[in-house]
């Protein structure tokens, strides 16, 4: 297949990582914070600085907390303000997802956020993977005029959901972009593209970097046991992004 025109979106959780992704050849970044929680809304300063220094498109995550995608009135009001903040900061788009208790798309509030967001692009994120029927959900998003859906095919990772993803891409046609994301790695990216027919993919390119701190209090940790230590950060690696670009396009970025 011709993979030369596949758009590569890298998920990052800092302005510095966004720069690294762009240096590596990413076409677009999804700017978050708290990736260990699946991605949360970044602060306004992060959005503004990222938009200021990046030439590639910037999509901003709008997710006020981890956990499910059933939000109360206060959380929704926060999301409204975050959408407006992203638009005012010059973001190219926002990424969010809201569900009803029965596992359907929350059309009313999704529509409200989409209206606030325009003329920015709108991506419905992996809340989609928690819907009761992905094809029903896809048709709902198409009817609402949502631009894109990020999905792993309702499995934990994209490689496990290749069959459903191919079906979603086929059903979507030119009506909405279906963008596979989660668990896409260098060794499986071409298989994902060939099996699904997707024209956009979403991935991370993380590595670890040792802290420059000389004094270290090894007795104390700021996070839980499942997060990296205080003297090691998860960062986006520009070279890993370059490898993805080469694997997909067969040329240097």
CB atoms inside a 10 Å sphere around CB 127: 23
Could you give phi then psi for residue 106, rounded to 5 degrees? Answer: -80, 90
Map out the domains of the chain with their CATH numbers.
7-249 (3.20.20.380)
Compute the CA torsion angle 107, 112, 115, 116 (nearest 10 deg). Answer: -150
Residues facing residue 124 across a β-bridge: 96, 149
- CA 205 to CA 229: how far, in whole Å? 19
Omega cis (within 30) before 119: yes
User: Using the 8-state DSSP alphabet, how is residue 148 labeled?
Assistant: E
Per-residue pLDDT, 3: 47
H or E element in which residue 203 lies: strand 200-203
pLDDT digits (tens, 9 = 90+) for 43-82: 999 999 999 999 999 999 999 998 899 999 999 999 999 9
Q: What string of pLDDT tens digits covers the 253 residues of the chain?
A: 444 589 999 999 999 999 999 999 999 999 999 888 889 999 999 999 999 999 999 999 999 998 899 999 999 999 999 999 999 999 999 999 999 999 999 999 999 999 999 999 999 999 999 999 999 999 999 999 999 999 999 999 999 999 999 999 999 999 999 999 999 999 999 999 999 999 999 999 988 888 888 898 888 777 655 555 545 667 788 999 999 999 998 866 5
Identify whether the C-beta of residue 248 lies closer than 8 Å to the C-beta of residue 193.
yes
Per-residue pLDDT, 231: 55
- CA 252 to CA 243: how far, in whole Å? 9
């Amino acid at each position: 297949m011709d993979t030369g025109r596949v758009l590569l979106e890298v998920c990052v959780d800092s302005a510095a990582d966004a720069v690294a992704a762009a240096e590596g050849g990413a076409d677009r970044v999804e700017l978050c914070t708290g990736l260990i929680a699946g991605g949360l809304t970044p602060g306004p300063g992060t959005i503004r600085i990222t938009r200021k220094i990046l030439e590639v498109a910037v999509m901003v995550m709008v997710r006020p907390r981890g956990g499910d995608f059933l939000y109360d009135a206060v959380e929704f009001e926060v999301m409204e303000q975050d959408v407006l903040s992203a638009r005012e900061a010059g973001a190219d788009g926002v990424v969010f997802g809201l569900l009803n208790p029965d596992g359907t798309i929350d059309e009313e509030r999704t529509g409200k956020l989409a209206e606030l967001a325009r003329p920015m692009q709108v991506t419905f994120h992996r809340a989609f993977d928690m819907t009761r029927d992905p094809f029903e959900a896809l048709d709902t998003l198409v009817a609402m005029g949502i631009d894109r859906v990020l999905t792993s095919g309702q499995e934990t990772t994209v490689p496990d959901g290749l069959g459903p993803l191919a079906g979603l891409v086929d059903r979507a046609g030119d009506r909405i972009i279906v963008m596979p994301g989660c668990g896409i790695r260098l060794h499986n990216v071409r298989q994902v593209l060939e099996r699904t027919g997707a024209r956009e993919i979403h991935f991370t390119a993380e590595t670890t970097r040792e802290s420059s701190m000389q004094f270290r209090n090894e007795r104390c940790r700021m996070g839980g046991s499942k997060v990296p230590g205080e003297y090691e950060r998860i960062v986006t690696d520009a070279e890993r992004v370059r490898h993805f670009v080469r694997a997909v396009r067969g040329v240097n970025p």
